[in-house]
A and B are shown apart, each in its own frame.
Chain A
Amino acid sequence: MAEPLLEIQDLHVTLDGFRALDGVSLKIYPRTARVIIGPNGAGKSTLLDTVIGRTRATRGRVVFRGQDVTRMPEHRIVRAGICRKFQTPGVLEQMTVDDNLAIAVRRNKRWWAHFRTGLDRAECARVDEVLGEIGMTAQRYRLAAELAHGEKQWLEIGMVLASDAELIMLDEPTSGMTPAETDRTAALMRRLAAHRTVVVIDHDMAFVEKLAAPITVLHMGRVLKHGTIGDLRDDPDVIAIYLGSARRSHAAG
């Protein structure tokens, strides 16, 4: 089997005395998609936070492309090729959609490389392409603050895409989206997984089902199960901790 792109080894994280991650190990292979599910407090967001350097591990390692990134500064981890979308849309509200993508798309992110007014030709082309992919060409010159919640989510997905990271991690990309928008997002994710590596956290089982990707279930900071949606749907442990409540909340939403 190929080398894993991302290898998480026995990761422990303690947040204010709370064991958010309690020995998580996970291997993500290149050009695959992986969905991480689990009830609130299972450690899903903490796992992504630790990979990206926002939260620091108390024990264990994160290895990306054979390189230990556990103690790297955040921006260096991103430059190594990992980009993340946050749960609440982290777009730059006071800027246009175009400017948001322009910041994400720059290849050279060292500070002295930005004393020109525009982007180079390849970067401009990439911004156009991403605008097409997220279907926001018409909103290009609007302020991000004026966008609907779902559009902000897409814009942030677009920013992550524009960064051309090899590993894309998305934290609840469909929260606040209508069912039609969720379908489009799922289709985009499936296209992405053909040439990128994608890790998605989500609660929405309809969305997870459409992604058709292997699933890892987290529970109380540990990996509970791996499997497909078919395996997990009938698994009594998973039903007990998660699917039951998710079905209810999905039905309510």
Chain B
Amino acid sequence: MRRSWVLSALPSVVVFIALLFAPLYLGPYNLMLSGRFLSLGILAMGIVLVWGYAGVLPLGQGVFFGLGGYALAMHLKLAALPAGELPDFMQWNGVEALPAWWKPFASPELALAAVVVVPGLVALALAWLVFRRRMTSVYIALITQALALAFATLLISRQGTTGGFNGLTDFQTLFGAPLGDERTRLWLHVATVGLAALAYFLARTLAATQAGRLVRAVRDGENRVRFLGYSPAPYKILVFVIAGVFAGLGGALHTLHAGVITPEAVGVVPSIYMVVWVAIGGRESLPGALVGTVLVNLAKDALSSAWPNAWPYLMGAVYIGVVRAMPRGLAGVVESAAAWLRRPRAAPAEPAVADLPADTEATSHG
């Protein structure tokens, strides 16, 4: 069991190493894109845990993305200032003194900690409320959606302290290193690939433990699990918190690569897009979610500048197509294809076991 698990991790190790060396074969613009999309991929893997494994549709991951992104962006704004001065947008809005809740972000250590701790704690508080009260997925989708709306509205309405609609941008240095510098870009790339790999292997390992099995068991038969003596809530809370931390981390990294964070990136619409990337990639597949996120965003980058108005329609059409034709996303298509290729040769040798993947599909609705 353990050996096959290590072996099956091999392709992903190769992919992450290839990504690590991307600066050798990608130009600066594409490197920036890869950094942005990998950051979003970290968030997408969190959605796999919550939606794919735990069966709870989260429609407000933008909130956690924003909490991580703004936490780092606040630090970057303060780090660029001469002592005693206020960030530019505060001066324009007539704010006289730095608000108390901005002050801790002057410290790089506190800001870095806040990138994971703040989204983690907010996710914990929310998950605690909804899962201990045994709310169903539909209500949780609505609540998280409402939270995304409230969060974006709050950011826009507090222009003097949040940068309002324009968000936070115009960053100069990261921990003393100039952000535009090629060396800084390189390290940022390495950190992004490293964190994406870390998130991937963490999620993968969790899924392989007995706890990961229980998460899926709760999705498929919450009452059966409860009446075997388990409390289902902690498993849902756990994956929701991990997804929140992943989203916060992705938000912070994305802010660094994109050089900006705005309410437009954290509200209702982006939160829905995040779920769509995962649906296209495969909601029960960590690599699928990563690939889906990168592909959709590449397509968006290529197409939406040419036809900005057509993009939402295209996205909607693709989403409907995926849900109708391939409910397990690209990952499901790849798995079915692999099973189909293996089938004729393996069938005589191991009759019962070789047939399993194909049969799963056929009986999963029965």
Contacts and interface: CB of A to CB of B under 8 A. Distances in A.
Given A117-B2, A117-B210, A109 B229 contact: yes
Interface in A99-124: 99, 102-104, 106, 109, 111-112, 114-119
Given A109-B229, A159-B228, A103 B360 contact: no
Contact of A92 (B210, B217, B229, B353): B217
A73 B217 contact: no
Interface stretch (A21-29, A74-82, A223-231): A74-82
B217 A103 contact: yes
B229 A114 contact: no
Contacts of B210: 102-103, 106, 114-119
A118 B1 contact: yes
A95 B234 contact: no
A106 B214 CA distance: 11
Given A78-B227, A111-B231, A117 B208 contact: yes
A78 B229 contact: yes
Interface residues of B, number: 34
B215 to A, nearest CB: 10
B182 interface: no
Interface stretch (B110-118, B218-226, B297-305, B317-325): B218-226
B242 to A, nearest CB: 13
A235 interface: no
B229 A79 contact: yes
Contact of A141 (B211, B217, B225, B353): B353
Interface of B: 1-2, 5, 206, 208-211, 213-214, 216-217, 220-221, 223-231, 234-235, 238, 352-353, 356, 359-360, 363-364, 366
24 contacts: A73-B231, A74-B226, A75-B229, A78-B228, A83-B227, A86-B227, A90-B221, A91-B221, A91-B224, A92-B220, A93-B221, A95-B217, A103-B213, A103-B214, A103-B230, A109-B230, A111-B231, A114-B210, A115-B206, A116-B209, A117-B5, A143-B356, A143-B360, A146-B363
Given A54-B227, A73-B231, A104-B228, 20 more contacts: A83-B228, A91-B224, A92-B220, A92-B225, A93-B220, A102-B210, A103-B210, A103-B228, A106-B210, A111-B235, A112-B234, A114-B210, A115-B206, A117-B1, A119-B210, A142-B356, A145-B364, A145-B366, A146-B363, A163-B228
